Amino acid sequence: MSLAKRRGFVFQSSEIYGGLGSVWDYGPLGVELKKNIKERWWRSMVHEREDIEGLDAAILMHPKVWEASGHIAGFTDPLVDCKHCKNRFRADDPRIKGTPGQPDGQCPACGTKGTLTAPRQFNLMFKTFMGPVEEDAAVIFMRPETAQGIYVNYLNVLQSSRQKIPFGIAQIGKAFRNEITPGNFIFRTREFEQMEMQFFVKPGSENEWFERWRAERMKWVEGLGVRSEKLHWHQHGKDELAHYAADAYDIQYEFPFGWQEFEGIHNRTDFDLKNHQQHSGKKLDYLDTTTNERFIPYVVETSAGADRTTLVVLCDAYREEAMKGEEGEEKEETRVVLKLKPSLAPLKAAVFPLVNKDGMPEVSRRIYDDLRRHFNVFHDDGGSIGRRYRRQDEAGTPFGITIDGQTTQDQTVTVRDRDTLKQVRVASSGLVEYLKEKLAT
């Protein structure tokens, strides 16, 4: 978290006013990293496949959408309040001693006994009002998931794209949940971004597609450069399954705070489309023209948190390494480095003049201006070259390009590799191609 703020990945929202609980802003490097992850997801889901279409549905939806989906009736957590300190907790918070609502119930915040209320159900959806009058008839909700926007547009996409089942609809967008106990940095927040794909299949084929998508999603996650020993599957037990799911697996990562999920693959059956058909009165079944069968498709869902995936990538890339000084710096030190996959790194390269004289700053600027037409790069001429390397190591920048005395003689530069610390001479005219090759994966 310290590095994230120091290097401009993530900031506390509204920090100058004391911050807003579990709401975070992405800084210059954070927004680039998250964008790179989202673009990689979109490319793999939509651009590289013929059977998935993209969508961007609105955040605000008709209230009946959430009745049909079961969110108004069932999207709740048990909640207790402390009448003494006014703090709020989940009823299953392990810190609570005794029984909430009874004299032995002890508040985990202030330690007072007998002040916890009996558990009551608390809906996690954010309410707001549409129109000029704040009345019950004008109540709408901020969407708690992006999936419902896909279901209500299922027929629109099917007909306009001329797809046939099996096919999928992918979407990246914001969702909102009024979490009782958010925390662990950007892991559990009240405003977050989802990368979801709903794959519509013929009933009876859902188990086959479920397993195929499980394999596809783990392969994609490993393609982010995440260490495989830090990943595993968790299958939902009967007491964990959501009301719409017949089967569900989570991809979990071993965070510093334990194994936690950041993506789920779910067999949602025909629950959503069937309920939307009943509540809306619109036919949502599908006609298979080859067999002349009509059926409501089953859905296999892949749902990833963009923020959680970003946190996985950051945590997995973070290293603290003992090393000797570089470029004449003799003392040993601890190097903090983000070993991000180069194609995901916010900055692809940093350009440094070795010293601010002898024509090096001018050459450095010229090379920087040429590179930034192709990549997101950074120019740094402040401090010792070793210190500048360290700053870029913390930012996860894979390549450092140094302009030195030899550059003015033969037009070559030194390219330093972030991970191996090896340095090679590369012709300045060939830098673009050199970096493209290194960033290809």
Condensed to tens digits (0 to 9), the pLDDT of residues 189-242 reads: 999 999 999 999 999 999 999 999 999 999 999 999 999 999 999 999 988 888
User: Rounded mean pLDDT of 173-197?
Assistant: 91
pTM over 0.85: yes
Helix count and strand count (H, E) for the chain: 13, 23
User: Rounded mean pLDDT of 103-111?
Assistant: 93
**Among 6-15, 125-134, 249-258, 346-355, where is mean pLDDT lowest?**
125-134
**Rounded to the nearest 10 degrees, what angle do helices 431-438 and 360-371 cross at?**
50
The predicted pLDDT at position 43 comes to: 97
User: Rounded mean pLDDT of 148-153?
Assistant: 96
Residue 89 near residue 105 (C-beta atoms within 8 A): no
Closest CA to 149 of 128, 131, 171: 171
User: Rounded mean pLDDT of 259-268?
Assistant: 96
Measured distance CA(273)–CA(286) in Å, rounded: 11
The predicted pLDDT at position 216 comes to: 97
Closest CA to 152 of 61, 45, 52: 61
Q: What are the pLDDT digits (tens) for 9-67?
A: 999 999 999 988 889 999 999 999 999 999 999 999 999 999 999 999 999 999 999 99
Residue 360 near residue 403 (C-beta atoms within 8 A): yes
Decide the pairing of beta strands 399-403 and 52-54.
unpaired
Helix (H, G, I), strand (E, B) or coil at 433: helix
Closest CA to 172 of 44, 312, 292, 343: 44
According to DSSP, residue 237 is labeled P
pLDDT bin (cut points 50, 70, 90) of residue 92 is confident
Q: Where are any strands of DSSP class E within 312-360?
A: 318-324, 332-338, 349-353
Average pLDDT, the chain: 93
The predicted pLDDT at position 326 comes to: 63
Measured distance CA(224)–CA(259) in Å, rounded: 18
The predicted pLDDT at position 330 comes to: 56
Helix (H, G, I), strand (E, B) or coil at 311: helix
156-187 CB burial, b ≥16 within 10 A, e <16? ebbeeeebebbbbbbbbbebbbebbebebbbb
- 218's tokens: 């783990």
The predicted pLDDT at position 94 comes to: 86
Measured distance CA(269)–CA(287) in Å, rounded: 18
Tell me how crowded residue 148 is: count the other CB atoms within 10 A of its CB. 20
Q: CA torsion 213→216→218→224, rounded to 10°?
A: -140
**Among 25-29, 262-266, 287-291, 394-398, where is mean pLDDT lowest?**
287-291
**Among 176-185, 261-270, 292-301, 429-438, where is mean pLDDT lowest?**
176-185
Decide the pairing of beta strands 247-255 and 258-269.
antiparallel
The predicted pLDDT at position 30 comes to: 97
The predicted pLDDT at position 229 comes to: 96
**Among 69-78, 93-102, 256-265, 291-300, where is mean pLDDT lowest?**
69-78
- Looking up tokens 């609502």, which residue turns up? 101
HSE, CB side, 13 Å, CA atoms: give it for residue 129. Answer: 8
The predicted pLDDT at position 80 comes to: 92
Give the C-alpha distances (Å, rounded to integers) separating 150 from 56, 61, 198, 319: 9, 12, 7, 39
Peptide bond into 166 cis (omega under 30): yes
Residue 399 near residue 345 (C-beta atoms within 8 A): no
Comparing 161 with 121, which gets the higher pLDDT?
A: 161
User: Rounded mean pLDDT of 168-186?
Assistant: 90
Give the C-alpha distances (Å, rounded to integers) separating 293 from 164, 209, 302: 13, 20, 27
Give the C-alpha distances (Å, rounded to integers) separating 65 from 56, 142, 174, 276: 17, 12, 17, 7
Measured distance CA(169)–CA(213) in Å, rounded: 14
Measured distance CA(386)–CA(338) in Å, rounded: 16
Beta bridge partners of residue 303, listed in sequence order: 196, 264
pLDDT bin (cut points 50, 70, 90) of residue 133 is confident
The predicted pLDDT at position 312 comes to: 98
Q: What are the pLDDT digits (tens) for 295-349?
A: 999 999 999 999 999 999 999 999 999 877 665 455 678 899 999 999 999 999 9
Comparing 53 with 126, which gets the higher pLDDT?
A: 53
